[in-house]
Every structure is written in structure tokens, then in C-alpha cells.
Amino acid sequence: MPANLTPQYHAAEKRYRQANTPEEKLEALREMLSVIPKHKGTDKLQADIKRRMAQIKEQAKKAPAARQVPHWVIEKVGAGQVPVIGPPNAGKSALIAKVTHADVRVAEYPFTTQMPAPAMMPFENIQIQLIDAPAHSEEFSVHWLPELIRRADACVLVADLSDDTTVLQIEYVVDSLEERDVVLMGAEPEEREGFEVYIPTLLVGNKADAESADAVLADLQGMFGQRFPIVAISVESGAGLDGFKRTLFEVMKITRVFTKQPGKDPDLTEPFVLAEGSTVHDLARKIHKEILENFTYGRLWGSSGRFEGQRVGEDHVLEDGDIVELHTR
């Protein structure tokens, strides 16, 4: 039976994955439990949530030990956090250096990247945080990589179109992460087995100008075309990079919303970034808790309304590019 999980559930689940304290995790789990549809298809998921809440409460009773923040916990900034992963020599670091202009270490030999390194990629009016991650393969498995990806908003999986073993290498990356309950998918399935994490993922074929590129790309599409959106690029020539940015934005399923004050023009330079399917309620909460508590109604300009300046309530679902004027008591 399909779980039919709501955008509110997915938003709370993301807050749980990205939480740094037991209190933040408990708050997110409570919201997940309150908004999850109550039917047979979610019985196992509800039980998992309650089990995790009990575990966190039990751990909180014990004396806290001094803990250092793990090196793979990267503070999230911008519109979303996106690890760039893949097998050795696929061109992950070179891709990040090209689209962010960051000083990323790039070399011809494998395993150049040893630690996660963030860099900001501009896309239209937002910045997306890409994270350069170490190569992952049967010869060199990165034990903390699933934890890095688990906290992310999306993932980029880079394949080498000049290597005829690429399909096997990508298959290893996907399968090894799935063994740790981190499932890379183009879109989340309707049914959920349990507390596994589904991460929206874009498969990128690099070195599209290589002699073998067409054949290897066809193999990737045959194996993974039903699972991931796939784009072909050449970091060296720059071919396909604009399409890569646009497709990644679409995979992330985010909505950019602008706000305005009554009688004033909206600020169209820095949108609020929300999950696809978010409501006016979600926007008000993101701005400030007091605005949500005192909210009375909103006025809307944009594609989600029937007419410009439409009066809307907090349950109105927003679309990309909407402008909202929030009124409070």
C-alpha cells in the first residue's frame, strides 16, 4: 500500500537527517509522527519513528560525553547541500572547480580528495552548496560517505564516459550505499519499506568528448535510465554544464518564493528556498516563529494563484517564483 507521504513529512524528515542535537532530532521526529498519514502502508514507518524517539530519550538520560563534531558534518548554506560522489578519476573535483570557481585540488591520479570540501555554485538567483567527496570504490570504500549523503538535500553521481567499466563502478557505489540504508533515486518511490533515506540524485556522465562516450552513455542509460535522470557533460570543454545546473535544480525539487511588505516592491534578489509542495504556513515558519503564530492571511502574486493579489490562507501551496505578502495581527 502506498505511503502517500506529504511534503510536510518530507520536510520534517529532512530536518531530522540534518539535525545536530538530540533536541532537534526529537522535535523533527515528533512532527514526522504528527503529519504522517495513518494507514496500513505507514505502520512500519510509524513504529520506526517511535523506536528512534525512544532511543534518543534513553541516550539523553546518560551522562553526556564530550564529542567532537565529525569532519563529514558540513554546515549547510545556500539553497541546498549536494555531495558530488563517484568512482576514481570520474572528474568530480574538476566539475566542482569549473562550476564554482573554487580552488579545488584536481589531479590525474585517483583519490586526490581525502576530506569533504564545500564550494558554492551559482544558479540564477540562488547558490547551491556542492561538496567534493572522496572517490568511492571496491578498492577504497569511504566508511563515512553514507553519513555525509544522509544529511544532504540531493546528490550528484559522476561517471567516467571514457571508461568501459563505468557501469560496474556506478553499480558498486549505488549498491554499497543502499546496504547502509542510503538509497540514491531520481524520485522517491510511492512505497516506503522503513526508515531508509531516499536522496534525489542526478547521474552525470563526464568526458562526453571521449571516443567511447556514446557507447558508455548508452550502457548507463540502459542500466540506470529508469532510476536516475542522466546528463552528459565535458568538464574540459564546458559542454553541457548549463544543462547540468538546470537539471540539478529540477532534481532538488525546491521552490523559490519572494516576500514583500504592503505598499512596497518585492525584493527579487534573495528568495526564500522551500521544498516543493510547501505552503504559506511553511514560508511563515521559515521567516520567523512569531510571524507564524500571529499570521492572519497572505496576498499572492504568481503562478499558484488565480489572480494577482489573491488573498490566501496558510494552507495555500506555493509554486516557484511566487511573491507573498504576509499579514499578521
Residue 274: beta bridge partners? Answer: 255
Q: Residue 114: what residue type?
A: Q
**How far is it, in rounded angstroms, from Cα 255 to Cα 249?**
10
Q: What is the pLDDT of residue 48?
A: 86
For residue 97, the surrounding DSSP H or E stretch is helix 92-100
Sign of the dihedral through C-alpha 249, 254, 255, 256 = negative
C-alpha distances (whole Å) from 2 to each of 115, 133, 169 are 39, 34, 32
Q: Which residue has the cell 512500519?
A: 44
User: Residues 133, 122: contact at Cβ < 8 Å?
Assistant: no
Residue 69: the pLDDT is 67
- The pLDDT score that the predictor gives to residue 216 is 97
Distances from the Cα of 205 to the Cαs of 216, 220, 229, in angstroms? 9, 9, 11
∠ CA(98), CA(145), CA(167), 5° rounding?
70
- Positive or negative, the Cα torsion across 122, 128, 131, 136? negative
pLDDT one-digit tens code per residue, 159-189: 999 999 999 999 999 999 999 889 999 887 7
**Ranges of the chain whose pLDDT falls below 50:** none
C-alpha cell at 302: 504568481
Q: At residue 304, what is the residue type?
A: S
Cell numbers 547540468 label which residue?
244
**Through-space distance between the first and last CA atoms of the chain, rounded to whole angstroms:** 43
Give the pLDDT of residue 2: 64
Q: Which pLDDT score is estimated for 8?
A: 78
How far is the C-alpha of 262 from the C-alpha of 47, rounded, in Å? 46
Give the tens place of pLDDT for each residue, 23-34: 888 888 888 888
Q: How far is CA 95 from CA 102, 147, 168, in A?
A: 10, 22, 22
Structural domains of the chain, with CATH: 7-61 (no CATH), 81-252 (3.40.50.300), 254-328 (3.10.20.30)
- Which of 133, 147, 144, 122 shows the shortest CA–CA distance to 84? 133
Three-state secondary structure along 10-24?
HHHHHHHHHCCCHHH
